[in-house]
Structure 1
Amino acid sequence: MAAGRAPWLAAGLVAVLMVVAARARFVVEKSSVRVLAPEHIRGHHDAAIGNFGVPDYGGTLTGVVIYPDTKPTGCDDFDAKFKAKSRRPVILLLDRGECYFALKAWNAQRAGAAAVLIADSVDEQLLTMDSPEASPGTEYIDKINIPSALVNRAFGESLKKMAQKVAGAGSEEVVVKLDWRESMPHPDERVEYELWTNSNDECGARCDEQMAFVRGFRGHAQLLERAGYARFTPHYITWYCPEAFRATQQCRSQCINRGRYCAPDPEGDFGAGYEGKDVVVENLRQLCVHRVANETGRPWAWWDYVMDYKIRCSMKEKKYTKTCAEDVVTALGLDLKKVLECMGDPEADADNAVLSKEQEDQIGSGSRGDVTILPTLVINNVQYRGKLERTAVLKAVCAGFKEGTEPRVCLSHDIETNECLHRNGGCWRDEATNVTACQDTYRGRVCECPVVNGVRYEGDGYTDCKAIGPGRCALNNGGCWSATRGHQTFSACTETALTGCRCPPGFHGDGHKCEDLDECREKLACTCPDCQCKNTWGNYECKCKGNQLYIRGEDVCIANSMSKLGWFITIAAVACVLGVGVAGYVFYKYRLRSYMDSEIMSIMSQYMPLDSQNNENQPLRQHDSEALR
């Protein structure tokens, strides 16, 4: 039965692939290769990043190019490890052909190479080297940890000639710098990434790879999104059935909505197991789970659903069903009714808005090509190249942050090297307070004057940083001079000045070094004829000869005694002042009393007759008030 359907299946798949291929626009993701030596072949060249191993997104690798004398294709194990005379990392150059690209990289890695360049054998545009489908003997693919790239034929031939010349004549090594810094856009402090996947768990190694990635990366993904560092969107590759085949049993079993949205049969056998349309429906459900979770502020719940669905509803255990899926939705506290409304009717002869959007997004736009490889990870609108593994993907995500805005997870020792640990990264550092301008980043380091405890430093970050603003004196005294003797402390840092150092009164210097100023010797104070000056630390003492008083503000000495006439005049002046004061007070009290008496008389006259008023202004009587009613 299955054999009879095979021609139909083949025809259907070929027709779909022809339609997809006609519309496909595949973009080759590239890195840069810069030749540093020898001098006469210096220059920049493009290289196509291989879709296996671990590209060093955001980083660089400088090494020596070695071309093997034997086994130049790298299809067989090498007899010994490769080493450069300068002890730089080895970048092994191999010829294209005879075996899988991934196998060449694996043999190069085992031979001690830090990276591999594969020279194209024909004159053509660069292409992406993909890993082969899982089959017996390809278990090495997951073990490849070095980056690989394809270079065009002309550049490859040039490198080969120079590398062979070095090996034969012992001339200067061929040194190149592989650069992935601009292979991943890093515009701001948030990374947007998406995973194109499939809910099918019976498609072999590819499906196992996707699920292993979801299981391993879920923690990182949820932490990044909860903290606002990333925005993740899941996508599902969807095919469609050509018009001519929509009435066939093959399209009806693989598609929903009358052939508009399809997926291959999970087992490749139309007569057994689940059908392709079961996969499409579950893909649709998982898209709606993310939409509903996003509406409730929990977009990261998608990772929990996919993981739980895999555990509870696998195809292998015959639980890949609607009932099981809805139980998982309910268990996660998501609104099942909204999920169902989002999914719509798979049997309707109408477009499904969610799946139609997926088909539109699958077609590339701008710098991003069409999604044609399953799975595909897209980071900041660039398709990721390399193995789909937790640490490798996290490195690529970390490369997508603007330098200096990476979350802490990107700065752990197993993700990147802290360049500030070696000679402080070449940046400024205050040894006294251990304040440094070196800021470790995923891409390297930046020298930038810091902000410490609310105090801002300014400078070039490399040779100088100075604290400015309020509070600066609390940090190493603002970099200014200070000294203490006994119970006295003097400082050249003042909170009233936002910048700079100035020696306090009694000292002289540039503010970073201050020395006591000898006011006596310099004749800056205590200079009157009868003054006797004695210098102290940060100050001076001045006394007068005989029975005289020293007036510091005027820097003069005055007599400490007066004549009798002087005393008489002083006492008389004081007495006059006191007399005038007493007289003024008595007059004031008299005037106040007179004013108060007149006020009291005026008030009382409103209520009772006074002798001086002859019964005027009498108060109203009872019978008088009646007339007013």
Structure 2
Amino acid sequence: MGGGGARPLLAAVLVAAAMVAPARGRFVVEKSSVRVLAPEHIRGHHDAAIGNFGVPDYGGTLTGVVLYPDKKATGCAEFPDRFRSKSGRPVVLLLDRGECYFALKSWNAQQAGAAAVLIADTVDEQLLTMDTPEASPDTRYLDKLNIPSALVNRAFGESLKRMADKADAEGEVVVKLDWRESMPHPDERVEYELWTNSNDECGPRCDEQAAFVKSFRGHAQILERGGYARFTPHYITWYCPEAFRLTRQCQSQCINHGRYCAPDPEEDFGEGYEGKQVVVENLRQLCVHRVANESGRPWAWWDFAMDYKLRCSMKEKKYSKACAEEVVASLGLPLDKVLACMGDPDADADNAVLSKEQEDQIGRGSRGDVTILPTLVINDVQYRGKLERTAVLKAICAGFKEGTEPQVCLSHDMETNECLHRNGGCWRDEATNATACRDTYRGRVCECPVVNGVRYDGDGYTHCKAVGPGRCALNHGGCWAETKGERTFSACSDTALSGCRCPPGFQGDGHKCEDMDECREKLACTCPDCRCKNTWGSYECGCRGNQVYIRGEDVCVANSMSRFGWLVAVLAVSCAAGLGVAGFVFYKYRLRSYMDSEIMAIMSQYMPLDSQNNEHQPLRQHAPDA
């Protein structure tokens, strides 16, 4: 069945069960001091309960003039004009409790120029903590609310109102808001803890946690690397009473047979994720911190928490054990130790890690019970105010003994290069040394890079691939390539802007290609008399018997010349050879005769002959004298 009617009852049971054991548990109101400086006759110190929104000035003070509006004194509507004091001092606006959310009153005051807000209680009671609204038509102003707020008791509020009304006659009401003692600062190291949740489907609270982890990670890691601070994450769980442990609600929301539970994310037992999945992931993140701490890298929890939000989001349906283990591996943490720490969620036995969490949830010393998420505790005092990077850093820095603050508390330009350790858990191409890790002031980010004008695309954690023109010049665009001898084949093509495709003669997905045996697949040399030989990336064809292979037609053609034809061919060749020899001999004879006649003609012009009278008489041979 759905969780519509059953869940409220179970939630009440779980909350009640969680609060039965700690009779000593209580909610502690964190206070600041309000000191009246003028008029003289009402000087004195008074307590004010710090609001859980805005930005309290931990470690600092604010001196201002109290103004009380003539109209709209509850502050539930926008003020038409900005408030200004006659002396030019900052305005501390005094408002009445009631009619709307505390945070909305402060927002309207901030919009009207107030530097701080004091809200006067309307009944005589102990001070309480003003919290942010759980449900409101519009709470976007909470992110922009930056002034401190505090609740004062009815008697003190009435006194301030009377004096503010007489300001023209007796002078301005000047008060000093003091947060210097609101945060203990006993020694040179601050210990702080964040009560959070791995679930990202709990509305604005979850969004606030995710944004804080992302923005504060750089500061947290600097503080911990330098030994200035010690951070511990915590996760709230409840237990299911034994009488309800066999119900579908407990089995869906609890592990270890009802001992540790978390609410169903969708508030519907029939769909989506279950509460027990949240408990298991909370347990995993606790063990990640323990294992990281044992390995000397406690700050790695911040990397895991942020990466898990990005890579394994519940909203994107990636919230899973497999995804979490991929993140563990990417950060170089031993998965076997994390699993050993987690134990068996199905066992009918206590889990040491989660049992310790339930004990720590109960208030102790100066710290009250943890009842809302997220909750930040610094030096055993619950932080009040907006969970925002600079505000939290200032509160932590206020927890150091005076004069021992680290440099990060004094300067905002300090950085640490997280990419130097295991490439920050981001993608990296060993062949080209291209990396997706980019260091920033708030910590490293994993974004696919641009290298030599070539853009990479991917998630930045597990994969990036080169896309666009020129990608093949960088390690073949991440595609398959292989060289044998003097021949190189690649699955990257400059004509395609992305993707990998095996070249002709190969088969595969482009990241792994194997030579295609065209002969075995009958892709070449398909004629009946063809003979096929496979080669790397190609093939060779021949013919059986006395045949000739024609590659363009992929056929073997029979040679039709007979023996007689061969004899005729031999005779023809012989005759041709004989004629050639005879021609050569005739040529030599004719050339010799021609040369002799030419020589004789030349000699006749220079030498006397026996018969000069008859030029045409043939030459005679002379006989010897008688």
Displacement of 1:21 in angstroms is 4.7
**Any idea what SS the aligned residue of 1:170 has?**
helix
TM-score for both structures, normalised by structure 2: 0.65
1:60–1:177 Cα contact (<8 Å) kept: yes
Displacement of 1:327 in angstroms is 1.3
Take 2:383 and 2:208, find their aligned partners in 1: how far apart are those partners? 15
Report what 1:396 is aligned to.
395
AA partner of residue 296 (structure 1)? S
Report what 2:16 is aligned to.
18
Take 1:325 and 1:155, find their aligned partners in 2: how far apart are those partners? 53
**Greater gyration radius:** 2
1:134–1:205 Cα contact (<8 Å) kept: no
Report what 1:348 is aligned to.
347
2:17–2:240 Cα contact (<8 Å) kept: no
Displacement of 1:54 in angstroms is 0.2
Take 1:134 and 1:294, find their aligned partners in 2: how far apart are those partners? 38
1:335/1:413 CA distance change after superposition, 3 Å:
closer
Take 1:135 and 1:39, find their aligned partners in 2: how far apart are those partners? 42
1:55–1:180 Cα contact (<8 Å) kept: yes
Displacement of 1:223 in angstroms is 0.8
Matched, 1:275 2:274: yes
Matched, 1:88 2:85: no
AA partner of residue 10 (structure 2)? G
Report what 2:327 is aligned to.
328
Report what 1:264 is aligned to.
263
Matched, 1:207 2:167: no
Report what 1:363 is aligned to.
362
Take 1:35 and 1:21, find their aligned partners in 2: how far apart are those partners? 40
| Residues 135-174 of structure 1: CA deviation (Å, up to 9, x unaligned) | 43111111110000000000000000000111xx432111
Report what 2:495 is aligned to.
none
The alignment-based identity, stated in percent, is 81
Displacement of 1:64 in angstroms is 0.6
Take 2:38 and 2:53, find their aligned partners in 1: how far apart are those partners? 28
Report what 2:474 is aligned to.
none
AA partner of residue 109 (structure 1)? Q
Take 2:40 and 2:18, find their aligned partners in 1: how far apart are those partners? 47
Report what 1:227 is aligned to.
226
Deviates more, 1:321-330 or 1:60-69: 321-330
| Residues 27-55 of structure 1: CA deviation (Å, up to 9, x unaligned) | 00000000111111111100000000000
Matched positions, count = 411
1:234–1:287 Cα contact (<8 Å) kept: yes
| Residues 210-231 of structure 1: CA deviation (Å, up to 9, x unaligned) | 0000000001101110011111
Report what 1:136 is aligned to.
137
Deviates more, 1:305-314 or 1:359-368: 305-314
TM-score for both structures, normalised by structure 1: 0.64
Displacement of 1:367 in angstroms is 0.8
Take 2:69 and 2:310, find their aligned partners in 1: how far apart are those partners? 48
Take 1:18 and 1:336, find their aligned partners in 2: how far apart are those partners? 36
Displacement of 1:134 in angstroms is 4.9
1:591-602 mapped onto 2 (5 Å cutoff):
none
**Any idea what SS the aligned residue of 1:222 has?**
helix
Displacement of 1:7 in angstroms is 2.4
Ranges in structure 1 where 5+ consecutive residues have no aligned partner = 416-629
| Residues 371-408 of structure 1: CA deviation (Å, up to 9, x unaligned) | 01110000000000001111111111111111111111
Take 1:324 and 1:54, find their aligned partners in 2: how far apart are those partners? 36
Displacement of 1:62 in angstroms is 0.6
Report what 1:380 is aligned to.
379
Displacement of 1:370 in angstroms is 0.7
**Any idea what SS the aligned residue of 1:208 has?**
helix
Displacement of 1:320 in angstroms is 1.0
Take 2:324 and 2:354, find their aligned partners in 1: how far apart are those partners? 19
1:95–1:118 Cα contact (<8 Å) kept: yes
Report what 2:302 is aligned to.
303
Report what 1:464 is aligned to.
none
Report what 2:7 is aligned to.
9
AA partner of residue 46 (structure 1)? D
Displacement of 1:205 in angstroms is 1.1
**Any idea what SS the aligned residue of 1:74 has?**
coil
Report what 1:118 is aligned to.
119
1:414/1:182 CA distance change after superposition, 3 Å:
farther
**Any idea what SS the aligned residue of 1:6 has?**
coil
Take 2:213 and 2:387, find their aligned partners in 1: how far apart are those partners? 10
2:394–2:409 Cα contact (<8 Å) kept: yes
Take 1:242 and 1:48, find their aligned partners in 2: how far apart are those partners? 35
Displacement of 1:326 in angstroms is 1.0
Report what 2:253 is aligned to.
254
1:419-498 mapped onto 2 (5 Å cutoff):
none
Take 2:180 and 2:413, find their aligned partners in 1: how far apart are those partners? 19
Q: Note the aligned Cα RMSD (angstroms).
A: 1.4
Take 2:17 and 2:247, find their aligned partners in 1: how far apart are those partners? 18
